[in-house]
Structure 1
Amino acid sequence: MKASRRTFLISSIGVASSLALSRQAFADAPKVAESDPTAQALGYKEDASKVDKAKFAKYAPGQDCGNCSFYQGKASDPYAPCPMFAGKQVAAKGWCSAYNKKA
């Protein structure tokens, strides 16, 4: 019984440290530049209030990355990963045409 408890504790510590390291890796990921080809294709703006509403009629005030279903951080995180921009972070206050309101 003690061996299984010890194994569980050692495994738990390993998982916790792996999660902490992966969170740090995301924090160190580069931020998406508006000049990035994918960003340009999706109309990404780091500040949603600067979206060209004539070009992106889908945009509505109040939509931003922080409340998008693709945003992989907490709404309070200033930047977080987004699967639309593999390996890069987007601004919580940003927007792109892939916006999908978080449920």
Structure 2
Amino acid sequence: MKQADLKRRNFLKLAASGVMAAPMAGLVSTVSAEDDALPHLKEDSADAQALNYRHDATQVDHADHEEGQQCGNCLLYTDPDAQEWGPCAVFPNHLVSEGGWCTAYVPRG
């Protein structure tokens, strides 16, 4: 399979998961970024590695990452007012860095 076909297929899979996750984002209970009830997602966790999650989007070296993309402006970041760390529909039992990024990124807008 050609590289372009693989990129297109990956894009379509991610877009489909984002479309499916978007309606669910409203169902996730919002958690204050200051709430220590949930742990911060660790970059070395299996879930984080599966989606190439990084705490600092400026340090991401991934073909799908575009400048300016970060958790804080992602549709799946379920509390856009959260500062520093906030809830994410993709990682429901953890808080993610507002300035982080993963391959499930869906632009808010």
What is the TM-score of this pair, normalised by structure 1?
A: 0.69
- SS of the aligned residue for 2:58 comes to helix
Distance in 1, Cα, partners of 2:33 & 2:84: 16
- SS of the aligned residue for 2:72 comes to helix
Partner of 1:27: 35
Partner of 1:44: 53
**Aligned 1:1-103 pairs, distance under 5 A:** 23=31, 27-28=35-36, 29-52=38-61, 56-75=62-81, 77-103=83-109
Structure 1: tracts of 5 or more residues without a match: 1-21
Structure of higher RCO (CA pairs closer than 8 Å, 6+ residues apart): 2
For the pair shown, which has the larger CA radius of gyration, 1 or 2? 1
Distance in 2, Cα, partners of 1:26 & 1:88: 13
- SS of the aligned residue for 1:80 comes to strand
Structure 2: tracts of 5 or more residues without a match: 1-29
Distance in 2, Cα, partners of 1:98 & 1:27: 24
Contact 1:26–1:81 under 8 Å retained in 2: no
Higher helix share: 1
Percent identical residues: 38
- SS of the aligned residue for 2:50 comes to helix
Q: How many residues align?
A: 79
Q: CA RMSD in A?
A: 2.0
